[in-house]
Amino acid sequence: MDYPIKTVCVVGLGYIGLPTAATLASRGIEVLGVDINPRVVEAVNAGQTYFSEPDLDMLLRAATTLRKLRATAQPEPADAFVIAVPTPFREDRSPNLDFIDLAADAIAPVLVSGNVVILESTSPVGTTERLADRLARLRPDLRFPPTRHAEPLDVHVAHCPERVLPGRMVRELIENDRIIGGLTEACAEHAEAVYRVFLQGKVFRTDAATAELVKLVENASRDVNIAFANELSLICDQLGLNVWHVIELANRHPRVSILQPGPGVGGHCIAVDPWFIVSSAPERTRLIRTAREVNDGKPKFVVSQIRERAERFKRPVVACLGLTYKPDVDDTRESPAIAIASQLACAGQDRILVADPNLTGLPEELAAMPNVSFCETLEAVRQADIVALLVAHSPFRKIPREELMRRVVIDATGLTHQHA
């Protein structure tokens, strides 16, 4: 089936929208990127990324130099619309779909017959249908799915959840298989034409609700598996065993593949998305909810380990190494390391030295705390009584072993085990 796509409007130039927009533009598509943040619009138009992601700066510069990507605050007519806005949760952990509603309201006036609208944002089951309903109410002159009596549609609507891994986005965007869930079969076909522009991976077409749940299940599956590893770390701590060694040996079994424990689960995906499943089926999600609780409880456990060791010192100096949500990125969203550093600082009596080679200073949450300062890695280690390894950033592997051996080390990452 051939549905030529010449222009695409990408709504939301965040961690997913920006790489998607730049990739489409690099393939010769006229792309209009839309964002409500004027600083993002300005940066993109200047060909500059505002977060670090390998190869994204190169891709973006190429797209803007070729004049194929332009950013603005308001959508304009296009063949296809890709919505890639955040879907956070509310205080009660129910999904907040306000940004999707705002995106729908913004694109509705410029839709024309023949368009396809694709929702990429991770969403609870039913959101794509809700999006189509909202668009249909705003544009009664156009036919949206589902239509009665299988009438032909003016605007096709589908869900194609993003699946790229931060740190490998540019490559995974092209290589990963994609699941495309249409509100009708024709919707999925029309959406596929957009991804065919750049995709090397396979496309699997399904209905929208299935695609929505598949995405949530992918992240919940990882969360549950990390929770198993984190629970093992608690068990091993009680039994005086090395969890990294236990997992390494268990993984020598041909059908066992345990993930790695850490200081907790951060980022804006895995720590959030499982709650969307819980909120859809609260009575039937004991395992998913418990996994979330196990992972959310890990920072507190690391804090208690540090505080227990700190009792030996009169005025202990604690070096917290790493603040981002995972190794070798500069993203601090939902970072368990920040939660640990700030809980330590709030407890009062310690001096906290923070080092992170991927950041230039303290994040807001820590900057106001009088007993927290930011310094270079080796300096932090040398001044510390206790070294807490919170993120396994590659440069930390170069910390001389003898510097660590002179101090009490709490390793939440397994880095010193791999180092040994």
Cα–Cα nearest to 348, from 370, 364, 366: 370
CB of 87 to ligand SAJ, least distance (A): 10
Contacts of 46 (CB under 8 A, 6+ apart): 64
CB of 261 to ligand SAJ, least distance (A): 6
Using CB under 6 A as the criterion, which residues of the chain lie in contact with ligand SAJ when the complex forms? 122, 162-166, 218-219, 222, 226, 259-260, 262, 265-267, 269-270, 325-326
CB of 15 to ligand SAJ, least distance (A): 7
Nearer to ligand SAJ, 19 or 75 (CB): 19
Distance CA 107, CA 160 (A): 18
CB of 231 to ligand SAJ, least distance (A): 12
Q: Which of 9, 187, 269, 320 is catalytic?
A: 269
Angle in degrees, 0-180, between the axes of helices 243-250 and 208-239, rounded to the nearest 10 = 120
3-state secondary structure 90-135: CCCCCECCHHHHHHHHHHHHHCCCCCEEEECCCCCCCHHHHHHHHH
Nearer to ligand SAJ, 186 or 226 (CB): 226
Q: Are strands 80-83 and 116-119 parallel, antiparallel or unpaired?
A: parallel
Q: Which of 68, 160, 215, 320 is catalytic?
A: 215
Distance CA 197, CA 174 (A): 10
Contacts of 302 (CB under 8 A, 6+ apart): 263, 264, 336, 340, 388, 390, 410, 412
Q: Are strands 178-182 and 156-159 parallel, antiparallel or unpaired?
A: antiparallel
Distance CA 176, CA 200 (A): 7
Nearer to ligand SAJ, 192 or 334 (CB): 334
CB of 308 to ligand SAJ, least distance (A): 22
Nearer to ligand SAJ, 136 or 179 (CB): 179
Distance CA 321, CA 327 (A): 11
Active site residue 236: no
Nearer to ligand SAJ, 51 or 313 (CB): 51
Residues classed as catalytic: 215, 269
